[in-house]
């Protein structure tokens, strides 16, 4: 009788339905039949387990590298197989036995729950790498509903109770009468002994039995010899998928460029997970999600190196970073102590005023406030720093100015002498006293909030933000620098553009992780093309924070959020709804990112070449559809005023690639190349 070999799942199930009509028992092989792995080589799952054991050993002061652990494991497993082979037909091994031997060898004994701890971790790693084959599982449910006896059988070093954890996770256990593993009896399908044992144990007549598997020898020939009807699957799609993975893995060894690509391939959804998704979701999953993951992983490494025990995620972008961190980092660093994390409700608007209470309004702060083109005069500064303009009228008059005198060079009516006069006002004691008096309450409320969240409980903290000038950190440090218990703030930005010089001191500094202007990184400078995308993609779905206020409530302060019922607020709500699928894609990618990174054992330096390619490809040479999809409809920020600058200012405005019309994006010849050359020139000149 020839083997029934099918070359697609559809064909397998059709054939199987026909054959199963005459049978009362159907058994399935588990791995590469009911379940497939995200990676090409099942042994790769052992590597993170070896790293985990090495981490546990390090905690107890035992120095063993992951490579040594893996070599020991392989040796003990092979020795067990050889020993079993002397008394049994099959050379089988049993996981708890050789793992116990390994752990005793490394730790000198089995501490409380050590084997259980390692086993739980290995099963979790296996579960993360295994995906049920949707169509086959559907057929299995059908067979179970039709009253067939279902068994799941595997030649594996994991005993049946361990395999049950995998089948439980995949939702298969409820349909199977029993899970059988060669590790329990050392009788495998490969020698045929496993079939005999199963038939005796479960009282199955071979002529009544259909077995579905992938191995032509164990599942095919040996089953046939035992009188069982075999049905084999040899899926060329699976062969192709594994071939791609194997090539990426092999190429990554000599060419680091491929490591990021392999990461994304391992992250990719399979089988039932891979359902059609909206375009924004795909952008979040395949582009922005991995970028954020790599960014946060590098933050973890910086915190480890610089012994930073707490991370504060800033502003609305920090909300997304915090959520991503919570899902991905525990997967990448199991058994290790991660820094505490906290989300801080801060924003430029909220902190600007509070930052002036002790040091007054600084020139650099004023310069930052005049950066947005819509800000023209002192009334705009008052809006940003929560000041009452009328109280300054007399002071301005002494210097020959009004509060509405133009102080921005891109607006009509600007005179350089007016700006110099304003800078003299900033040195005026009466002016600064008024500024401090008006912002004292906001600062006091901020202090209460920061005390409440434990900001002053750590000596050194990391503060994480999307970028770009580090203004939030600047304002925050200004607001708390008068305190002896103010922590050292290590600013870690997604991108540091450094448009305005940052006041770096021993207690306050910033660096860009993905991009930093202080180190020449041309590929990462592609961020300049569309910084707003990252802000919009990462923005939290709550209104922007406008300030802090003292209150009679229990806490003594309250956070003032921007209203949502005005035109701007409602536009924001619409924008939030629009980008919701993008954010969902980002969050869904977090777990897969963590799993993939843990498996591969790589970090920022390994992924940087691919990341550089992604940034240039997606930001400098995007498709028109991608720009239309991701381009923010309205970047809403009360920091920006509404006054119109001079017409000649607009000459250069709107020339950016991501600001072009759809018609130009599609039809303007060599548009992307021209903008790229312009970008290249500006980066080199900088």
CB of 465 or CB of 626, closer to other proteins:
626
CB of 522 or CB of 650, closer to other proteins:
522
> Is 251 an interacting residue with respect to other proteins (CB under 8 A)?
yes
Which residues are within 8 A (CB) of 302 and not within 5 positions of it... i.e. 6 or more apart? 308, 462, 490, 492, 513
> Is 243 an interacting residue with respect to other proteins (CB under 8 A)?
yes
Q: How far apart are CA 356 and CA 426, in angstroms?
A: 12
- 4-23 mask for other proteins (x: CB under 8 A)? ---x----------------
**Selected binder of other proteins within 235, 322, 516, 535 (CB under 8 A):** 235
* Sign of torsion over alpha carbons 621, 626, 628, 630: negative
Contacts to other proteins from residues 605-624, by CB under 8 A: 608-610, 612-614, 616-618, 621
CB of 42 or CB of 269, closer to other proteins:
269
Task: Assess contact for 581 and 280: CB atoms under 8 A.
Answer: yes
> Is 670 an interacting residue with respect to other proteins (CB under 8 A)?
no
Nearest 5°: CA angle at 570, between 565 and 574?
Answer: 150
> Is 603 an interacting residue with respect to other proteins (CB under 8 A)?
no
CA-closest candidate to residue 545, choices 675, 350, 293: 350
CB of 205 or CB of 617, closer to other proteins:
617
Q: Please report, for residues 409, 432, 545, 594, the alpha-carbon distance to residue 317 in angstroms, rounded to integers and kept in the order given.
A: 31, 32, 12, 20
CB of 569 or CB of 609, closer to other proteins:
609
Give the number of C-alpha atoms closer than 13 A to the C-alpha of residue 55, restricted to the C-beta side.
15
Q: Tell me the Cα Rg of the chain.
A: 32
8-state DSSP, 543: P
Task: Assess contact for 16 and 198: CB atoms under 8 A.
Answer: no
CB of 147 or CB of 254, closer to other proteins:
254
Q: How far apart are CA 207 and CA 199, in angstroms?
A: 11
CB of 499 to other proteins, least distance (A): 21
CB of 600 or CB of 614, closer to other proteins:
614
> Is 124 an interacting residue with respect to other proteins (CB under 8 A)?
no
> Is 646 an interacting residue with respect to other proteins (CB under 8 A)?
no
**Selected binder of other proteins within 65, 274, 457, 577 (CB under 8 A):** 274
Nearest 5°: CA angle at 388, between 387 and 390?
Answer: 145
> Is 276 an interacting residue with respect to other proteins (CB under 8 A)?
yes
From the list 269-277, 346-354, 474-482, 485-493, the region that binds other proteins by CB under 8 A is: 269-277
Q: How far apart are CA 171 and CA 213, in angstroms?
A: 19
> Is 577 an interacting residue with respect to other proteins (CB under 8 A)?
no
CA-closest candidate to residue 73, choices 45, 31, 41, 39: 45
Helix (H, G, I), strand (E, B) or coil at 187: coil
Contacts to other proteins from residues 136-165, by CB under 8 A: none
CB of 526 to other proteins, least distance (A): 8
Q: How far apart are CA 486 and CA 457, in angstroms?
A: 9
From the list 117-125, 261-269, 457-465, 477-485, the region that binds other proteins by CB under 8 A is: 261-269
CB of 245 to other proteins, least distance (A): 9
Nearest 5°: CA angle at 256, between 254 and 259?
Answer: 115
**Selected binder of other proteins within 107, 456, 561, 676 (CB under 8 A):** 676
> Is 236 an interacting residue with respect to other proteins (CB under 8 A)?
yes
Task: Assess contact for 32 and 267: CB atoms under 8 A.
Answer: no
**Selected binder of other proteins within 244, 453, 574, 628 (CB under 8 A):** 244
> Is 268 an interacting residue with respect to other proteins (CB under 8 A)?
yes
CB of 289 or CB of 360, closer to other proteins:
289
8-state DSSP, 657: G
CB of 330 to other proteins, least distance (A): 24
**Selected binder of other proteins within 76, 95, 98, 287 (CB under 8 A):** 287
**Selected binder of other proteins within 255, 398, 633, 635 (CB under 8 A):** 255
Which stretches does DSSP call E strand in 53-132?
A: 130-132
Write down the residue that tokens 């950016």 correspond to: 656
**Selected binder of other proteins within 71, 433, 519, 522 (CB under 8 A):** 522
Task: Assess contact for 547 and 442: CB atoms under 8 A.
Answer: yes
Helix axis angle for 236-254 and 257-267, nearest 10°, is 150
CB of 616 to other proteins, least distance (A): 5
CB of 128 or CB of 316, closer to other proteins:
128
> Is 282 an interacting residue with respect to other proteins (CB under 8 A)?
yes
Size of the site for other proteins (CB under 8 A): 52
φ, ψ for residue 28 (rounded to 5)? -125, 140
> Is 247 an interacting residue with respect to other proteins (CB under 8 A)?
yes
Phi-psi region of 230 (alpha: psi -120 to 50; beta: other; left: phi over 0): beta
Task: Assess contact for 27 and 211: CB atoms under 8 A.
Answer: yes
Binding site for other proteins (CB under 8 A): 7, 234-237, 239-241, 243-244, 247, 251, 255-258, 261, 264-265, 268-270, 274-279, 282-283, 285-287, 521-526, 608-610, 612-614, 616-618, 621, 626, 676, 680
């Amino acid at each position: 009788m020839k083997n029934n070999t099918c070359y697609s799942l559809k064909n397998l199930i059709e054939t199987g339905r026909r054959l199963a009509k005459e049978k009362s028992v159907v058994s399935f092989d588990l791995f590469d039949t009911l379940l497939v792995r995200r990676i090409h080589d099942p042994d790769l799952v052992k590597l993170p387990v070896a790293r985990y054991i090495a981490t546990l050993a390090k905690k107890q002061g035992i120095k063993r590298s992951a490579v040594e652990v893996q070599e020991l494991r392989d040796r003990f497993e092979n020795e067990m197989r050889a020993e079993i082979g002397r008394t049994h037909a099959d050379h089988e091994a049993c996981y708890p036995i050789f793992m116990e031997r390994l752990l005793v060898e490394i730790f000198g004994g089995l501490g409380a729950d050590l084997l259980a701890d390692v086993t739980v971790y290995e099963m979790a790693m296996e579960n993360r790498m295994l995906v049920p084959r949707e169509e086959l599982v559907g057929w299995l449910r059908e067979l179970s509903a039709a009253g067939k006896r279902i068994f799941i059988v595997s030649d594996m070093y994991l005993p049946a109770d361990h395999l049950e954890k995998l089948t439980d996770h995949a939702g298969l256990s409820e349909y199977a009468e029993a899970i059988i593993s060669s590790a329990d009896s050392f009788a495998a399908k490969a020698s045929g002994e496993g079939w005999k044992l199963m038939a005796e144990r479960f009282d199955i007549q071979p002529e009544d039995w259909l077995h579905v598997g992938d191995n032509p020898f164990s599942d095919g020939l040996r089953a046939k010899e035992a009188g069982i009807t075999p049905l084999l699957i040899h899926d060329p799609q699976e062969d192709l998928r594994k071939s791609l993975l194997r090539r990426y893995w092999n190429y990554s060894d000599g060419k680091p460029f491929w490591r990021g690509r392999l990461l994304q391939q391992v992250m990719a959804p399979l089988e039932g997970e891979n359902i059609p998704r909206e375009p924004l979701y795909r952008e979040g999953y395949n582009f922005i999600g991995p970028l954020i993951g790599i960014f946060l992983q590098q933050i973890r490494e910086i915190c480890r190196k610089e012994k930073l025990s707490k991370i504060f995620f800033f502003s609305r972008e920090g909300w997304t970073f915090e959520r991503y961190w919570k899902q991905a980092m525990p997967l990448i660093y199991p058994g290790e102590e991660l820094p505490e994390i906290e989300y801080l409700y801060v924003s430029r608007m909220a902190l600007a005023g509070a930052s002036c209470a002790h040091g007054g309004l600084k020139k650099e702060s004023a310069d930052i406030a005049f950066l947005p083109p819509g800000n023209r005069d002192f009334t705009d500064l008052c809006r940003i720093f929560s000041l009452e303009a009328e109280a300054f009228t007399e002071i301005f008059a002494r210097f020959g100015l009004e509060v509405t005198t133009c102080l921005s060079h891109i607006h009509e009516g600007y005179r350089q002498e007016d700006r110099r006069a304003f800078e003299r006002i900033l040195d005026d004691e009466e002016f600064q006293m008024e500024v401090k008096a008006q912002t004292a309450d906001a600062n006091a409320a901020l202090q209460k909030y920061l005390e409440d969240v434990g900001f002053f409980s750590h000596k050194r903290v990391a503060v994480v933000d999307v970028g770009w000038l580090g203004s939030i950190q600047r304002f925050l440090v200004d607001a708390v620098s008068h305190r002896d218990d103010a922590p050292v703030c290590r600013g870690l930005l997604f991108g540091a553009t450094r448009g305005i010089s940052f006041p770096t001191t021993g207690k306050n500094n910033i660096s860009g992780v993905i991009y930093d202007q202080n180190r020449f990184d041309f590929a990462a400078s592609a961020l300049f093309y569309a910084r707003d995308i990252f802000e919009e993609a990462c923005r939290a779905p709550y209104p922007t924070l406008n300030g802090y206020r003292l209150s009679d409530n229990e806490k003594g302060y309250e956070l003032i959020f921007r209203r949502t019922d005005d035109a701007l607020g409602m536009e924001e709500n619409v924008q939030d709804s629009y980008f919701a699928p993008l954010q969902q894609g980002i969050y869904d990618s977090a777990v897969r990112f963590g799993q993939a990174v843990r498996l591969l054992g790589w970090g920022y330096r390994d992924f940087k070449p691919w990341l550089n390619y992604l940034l240039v490809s997606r930001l400098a040479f995007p498709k028109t559809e991608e720009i239309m999809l991701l381009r923010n409809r309205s970047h809403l920020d009360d920091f920006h005023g509404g006054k119109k600058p001079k017409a000649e200012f607009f000459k250069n405005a709107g020339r950016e690639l991501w600001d072009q019309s759809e018609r130009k994006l599609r039809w303007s010849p060599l548009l992307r190349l021209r903008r790229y050359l312009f970008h290249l020139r500006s980066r080199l000149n900088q």
